[in-house]
Structure formats: C-alpha cells, structure tokens
Structure 1
Amino acid sequence: MVERSCAELIAEATAAPVDGWGFDWLDGRATEERPPWGYARQVADRMATVAAALDIDTGGGEVLAEVPQPPPLLLATEAWPPNVAVARRTLRRVGGRVVQVAPRSRLPFRDAGFDLVTSRHPVDTDWAEIARVLRPGGRYLSQQIGAGTMRELSEAVLGPLPPPATRHTAQAVAAARTAGLDVVRLERATLRAVFHDVGAVVWFLRKVVWTVPDFDVDRYRPQLERLHARIRAEGAFVARSRRFLIEAVRPAPGDVGSA
C-alpha cells in the first residue's frame, strides 16, 4: 500500500465537511474510548418517562435521533447554522423540533416548561436558565467536556499550555447549586483517543474548534508536518479526552435538597 503524503492527507481533511456532530469521517482513521455510563442510553431511558423534554446544543441531533420512545413534546436548540439544518432533518423522524438560538442567549422558552433538559458536550452551561425552564422535580442530565481534554493534541500544535482554568467538575457542581439545583450524580472518565494519520487530526481540529481555537491549516502547517512525521514513526498519536456526567434536579416545594 502506497503511503500518502502529508500534503495529500491535509488536503483531503480540509475539503471534508464537518457539519453536524457525527464523527463517521474518522472511521478507520481515529478511535476514542467511550465513557462507561452510556450517555445515549441514559437519555433514552429518561425520555421514555417524561412529557416534555429539551436538548440544548443538539449539534446535528444525533443523540436524540436514537431515542426509541420520544416524549410528546421534544424540542432542541442549536446555535451553529450549518448544524441547525442537519438537526432539523435528523429529528423530523422522532417528532423533534429544532429552535435556532444565538450563542450564549437566554433560552426562548417559558418558565417551568420541561420535565427533562439534556445536553451532550454543551459549549457553555447556563445553570440559571436550565433551572428556570425545568419544572419542580425536573432533571438536567449532561455529558460534559472535562478540564484539560485533548491537552496532548492542543500542546502538539500550540506548545506548552498553562493548567486549565475552566471545565472542572467542582465549578459545575458549585454553579448548579448556586442556581438552586441539587446535584444527584457526578461521574468522571479519562479516555484514550488515537489518531492514525494527520488528516484525522486536521479534520478533528476543524470540527472540535476549542482544541486549538485559532486553528488554520496554513498557520500551523509546520506543526502538522511534525505530527505527520511522528505518526509515521510511532504508528499513531495518542491523546486523552476527559468527560464527566452530571445530573441535577430542581427541587419541588418541600423537598429537602441533597446539595
């Protein structure tokens, strides 16, 4: 098999679409361990028991599309226009409706309108808004990106970085409690991510933009060429993704909080 050059791999990855929040393009080129708690299954189980649910930062709607028993009212929000179109097509088959929102805006829904709010890898978590739209007794379930995720990849491109200042679980728990929610579950996982060619790295950085916030192929071509040489020499580039699962409840009147 003829090995492809660094330039060919980069060009292919640069031309590939990154709409939605699926990662099928990486099949055979990169792998990432899954968290042990099974987020999609957790969401499906809860969706089957509620009347009204909201998914925040739905991406392309990939998680909700797999829910076998959606609630009568299923809404989702998304801020990135290319994802909005994808999510609307994806969620049509489960009766979900996608509302386009501005980044970091208030949720355009009435108070206490949902039994369940979910979010997989939210850009930001507005705990006060989540508490506002939850009904008393309602739950928020979210799989979030942990502090220092994919740091090895970030530093391979950007060089040494200071310790991460955000996305720590203690910060999430404190913010949830400040908003009046009781945190009833918190789990953490560190997961192995393996990139088998530099094209997979480029595509990932284009899609997961917070890994290298100013990523541009031309700006970082020397670093990408070094990564290409390293992958050829070592067989793969290994990084660590960090995730946590958090579940919080809006107390009903008279409840004794668990915070």
Structure 2
Amino acid sequence: MAFEDYFEQLIETSKHSFSGWDFSYVNDTGRIDAEPLTWSYGSKALALIRNSSSMLDMGTGGGEFLSMLRPFPQTIYATEAYTPNVPIAKNRLEPLGVKVFEIEDDHHLPFENNFFDLIMNKHEAYSNQEVRRIITEGGTFLTQQVGGVDCHEINDALGLPYNEEFIDWNLAKAASDLEKNGFKILESGEQFPIQRFYDIGALVYYLKAIPWQAPDFDVEKDKQKLYEIHQLIQEKGCFDVKQHRFYIKAKAI
C-alpha cells in the first residue's frame, strides 16, 4: 500500500460518529493513550457521593461517567450545555433517577439557594458565584479541569494559534477564585501527563470532538501539516503532547 494511500485511509477513519463524551472508538482500540494522573477523580467522587443526600453533576456529557457511580443519593440532578448531548444524557440517566437540565448560561442555573451538599464538575465551565449560591454551607465542590496549556504541541505542529480564551486557566487561578467566593480549599493537584497519538486518524478524530483546542483547524486546509505529523508517527511510532489537568476539592464556608 502506498504511503499516501495509508494516510488517506487513516484520515477517513476520523469521520466515525462521535456522541456524548465517548472516546471509546479511539481509546478502547489503543489509538490514543495517556499517562495516568496521580489522583482519581472517580474515586474521590465515589467517596463523596456515598455521603451525600443531594448532588449535582455539572456538564454530564452523555451521562456516561455519572451512570457508573451508583448508588446515587436520593436527590440527584445533572446539567449539560451541549444540546446534542442532552437527549443522550436523559435517555441514560433519567431511568436511573437523575433529573437532567439543559443549560445555556453558567451564571444562571435552575436551582434554589443552598440546594446541594455536593456539586461535581469534570472538565466543565462554572461560575464561582453560582456554585456558591446553590451549594449548602459545609457542602463540597469537587472539580477536575483541563488547564489552559493543554496539548499545545498539537497547535504548534499544525501551525495554528492557541485558544487564548483559556490560556491562563490553571490551579492557582481556579483556587484563588474559589477562595474569593466563599470556599476553603481542602485538596488540590496539578499535572502535565503525556497524551500519545498512534495514528493521524485518531488525532483528527480528537480535534473534531474538541473543536475548542484549535478552532481554526480544517482537515483540507491543514492536510500538509497533518501529513508531516503522519510521517513523524511512522518514524517514531507515536506523536506525544502534554495534557494539563488539575483538581480541587473545596468546602463552602
């Protein structure tokens, strides 16, 4: 098979459908891998859920992650801002007793003051003031975030600008903002683990699923740069980039 034909076939695989927040098409097949973090958001979430009576999962995606954290507290809600994910989340979560709300504005959530004793947020935007409004005094806010310098090597390799909107988003800023809005930081951590792409089709699939990484990305426009990354992968076996992750466990005071 010609080298160029193999490249085009890999690009073609990036057209596989993506729904919810399910990367199994490339993760479960080993086409993308990532260095593990020194903490587990899921383990921390499980322990908190077991001691909660009312909880909210912000940015639930298609509900894939939340659905695996049962048993749930008596009162449980989830929000999702990406419209295509909402029916997926409802179909998965509502039979399990989770009420799912589509939201448009992080600063205006459809919940009463002091309503939740646990709010979870994995890789979703949030308003510090609004989270504090709807959480009980003594309640716990657990979040894991994607930092502002996440996977910048992708942008560098493609010759594309960084997303400036998030570039200053890191643990220090997030923790400071929470402390200014009525929270005490109980735990935190920040890391830059390696994420590895084993073929160019997996990289393109990834970029299509998270368009905010490189908003100017276009397969046809950037095909020459993609081909150069493809050549690198063929020579070295993979294309490595650095993720940016941090977590915070905080108590409302």
- Length-normalised TM-score, structure 2: 0.92
Question: Residues of 2 paired with 1:41 and 1:224: CA distance?
Answer: 37
**In the alignment, is residue 79 of structure 1 matched against residue 78 of structure 2?**
no
Which structure 2 residue ranges, 5 or more long, are not aligned? none
Cα RMSD of the aligned pairs, angstroms, is: 2.0
Instruction: Give the percent of matched residue pairs that are identical in Structure 1 and Structure 2.
Output: 29
The whole-number CA distance in structure 2 between the counterparts of 1:93 and 1:84 is 14
* Whole-angstrom distance in 1 between the partners of 2:72 and 2:9: 43
Other-structure match for 2:241? 239
Matched, 1:46 2:48: yes
Query: What secondary structure, in the 3-state scheme, does the structure 2 residue paired with 1:8 have?
Result: helix
Unaligned runs of 5+ in 1: 252-259
TM-aligned CA distance change 1:236 to 1:87, over 3 Å? same
1:33, distance to aligned residue in structure 2 (A): 2.1
| Aligned partner (choices 65, 68, 82) of residue 67 of structure 2 | 65
CA–CA distance in structure 2, aligned partners of residues 93 and 197 of structure 1: 38
Task: Check whether the contact 1:65–1:93 (CA below 8 A) recurs between aligned residues.
Answer: no
Corresponding residue of 2:101: 99
Relative to 1, partners in 2 of residues 1:200 and 1:129: Cα closer, same or farther, differing over 3 Å? same
> Aligned to 1:135, what secondary structure does the other structure show?
strand
- Which stretch shifts more, 63-72 or 159-168? 159-168
Residue equivalent to 1:188: 190
SS at match of 1:5: helix
Instruction: Give me the TM-score of the superposition, normalised by structure 1.
Output: 0.90
Contact 1:158 1:212 in 2 (8 A): no
Cα pair 2:160 2:214 within 8 Å, conserved:
no
Q: In the TM superposition, what are the counterparts of 1:1-259 in structure 2 within 5 Å? A: 5-13=6-14, 15-26=15-26, 27-122=29-124, 124-159=125-160, 165-251=167-253
**1:142-170, Cα deviation, whole Å (9 max, x unpaired):** 11112311111121113575997421211
Change (3 A) 1:2 1:74: farther
Q: What letter is aligned with 2:156? A: E
